[in-house]
Amino acid sequence: MSRPHILQIGPLTARFNANLAARYAVTPLWLQADPQAFLREQGEQFELLVSSARFGCSVEQLACLPNLRAICSFGVGYDPYPLELLRERGIAVSTTPDVLNECVADLAMGLIIDTARRLSEGDRFVRAGSWPSAAFPLARKVSGKRLGIVGLGRIGAAVVQRASGFAMAVRYHNRTPLADCPHGYEASLVELARWADFLVLTCPGGAATQQLIGREVLEALGPDGILINVARGSVVDEPALIAALRSGALGGAGLDVYAAEPQVPLALRELNNVVLLPHIGSGSEETRLQMEALLLANLQAFVEQGELLTPL
């Protein structure tokens, strides 16, 4: 029996690419001289597609894939996919949920501690040789502070679990309150920000949350408040964030995601009251290996049974 032919939109790890190629006949779209022209000429041969939350699959690409039946995506983000169009065409989509919850929550907690205690700033202070001639400014305590979660799903719950070790009070904002949730629900995002010392974003990206965190929320969080974003860059009004950090209207921020990755505005890079990471929320060897295995398992399940293990 011939191996199923897979279209892969963009590269993942060398390990994953090799494993995928060992199991299936794979066409790497990014290696084509003119990817869109290739799809127009060859797209009808593909029923299965592998991509990621980074590369997604555009409306233009989908138009050239008339026989596509399923997309297996690396990561939990689904905002780079035209979901309504996929539903209309009956194309199934899987992501890799749960296996990255712990890693992303670890990073969120790390950003809370880093931004509050000024760890990265302190590292730069020592490396610059400033310690012998100047006193490092005081930072802020983490234990016992108030934690606001925007999007109390799997990752948000894992952040809350870690925060319990720091005796932090917790409130959250979702579109609707959760049943049997022990934490306080705040229907107003502005009021949640006004209450919180740390506002952590763990909500999905996409149109529903586009620039959800704007000037009013940032000013409510205030000059002693800290914003942590491990969700999507699109959730935050980036110019408003830069303005609030510059003026002191917001105390600080810890960011793993940005509006136009991998481009990070110079204005953010020049600020001392923000910690900047290169979208590494799931970036551990253990978690990435689990994500790769789950994507391959979804693909195998669809090839053999016509169903995905972790569909959207």
Catalytic residues: 232, 261, 279
Q: Give yes or no for a contact between 37 and 13, defined as CB atoms under 8 angstroms apart.
A: no
At a CB cut-off of 8 Å and minimum separation 6, what does 121 contact? 272
DSSP 296: H
Q: Which residue has the tokens 């897979």?
A: 6
Give the Cβ contact number of residue 155 at 10 Å: 27
User: What token pair was written down for 152?
Assistant: 């109390």
Give, to the nearest 10 degrees, the angle between helix 285-305 and helix 101-117: 150
At a CB cut-off of 8 Å and minimum separation 6, what does 135 contact? none
Handedness of CA 217, 218, 220, 221 (dihedral sign): positive
In whole angstroms, give the CA distance from residue 55 to residue 295. Answer: 15
In whole angstroms, give the CA distance from residue 146 to residue 168. Answer: 6
In whole angstroms, give the CA distance from residue 242 to residue 227. Answer: 12
Please state, in angstroms and as integers, the Cα–Cα distance from residue 168 to each residue in 154, 159, 160, 161, following that order.
19, 11, 9, 10
In whole angstroms, give the CA distance from residue 29 to residue 77. Answer: 21
User: What token pair was written down for 173?
Assistant: 């904002």
